[in-house]
């Protein structure tokens, strides 16, 4: 694969904030904004997703992206996507 090509990401991608870390696992709080059709009121819902973090790179408070994947345990259905910050750390 050349440098100009980029990999396509299959599945759903969400962005959220890390609220807890465990060995090889992060808990990400994902914000969802939606409108109630009848009244037009804007509501905000939060959902916590458990994601697989193979190299334990995520830190509490960091904003990360997660991608849906196969079930890895009873709660983990997401995998942590590499961020630009972690990619820079690997190269230097």
pLDDT of residue 10: 82
Residue 31 lies in a domain: yes
Closest CA to 90 of 53, 52, 57: 57
Q: Evaluate whether residue 54 is within a structural domain.
A: yes
pLDDT tens by residue, 44-57 = 999 999 999 999 99
Q: Is residue 58 part of a domain?
A: yes
Rounded Cα–Cα distance for residues 22 and 4 (Å): 35
- State the Rg of the chain over Cα: 16
pTM flag (> 0.85): no
Residue 92 falls within a domain, yes or no?
Answer: no
Number of Cβ within 10 Å of residue 59's Cβ equals: 11
Report the CATH number at residue 76. 2.40.50.140
Domain residue limits at 73: 13-84
Task: Domain count for the chain, please give it.
Answer: 1
Structure-model confidence comparison of residues 2 and 79, the more confident one: 79
CA distances (Å), origin 53, targets 6, 33, 34, 43, 72: 22, 26, 29, 30, 11
């Amino acid at each position: 694969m050349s440098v100009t090509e980029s990999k396509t990401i299959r599945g759903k991608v969400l962005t959220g904030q890390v609220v807890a870390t465990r060995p090889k696992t992060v808990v990400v709080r994902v914000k969802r904004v939606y409108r109630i059709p009848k009244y037009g009121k804007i509501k905000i819902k939060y959902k916590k997703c458990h994601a697989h973090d193979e190299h334990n790179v995520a830190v509490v408070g960091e904003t990360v992206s997660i991608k849906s994947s196969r079930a890895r345990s009873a709660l983990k259905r997401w995998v942590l996507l590499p961020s630009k910050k972690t990619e820079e750390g690997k190269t230097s």
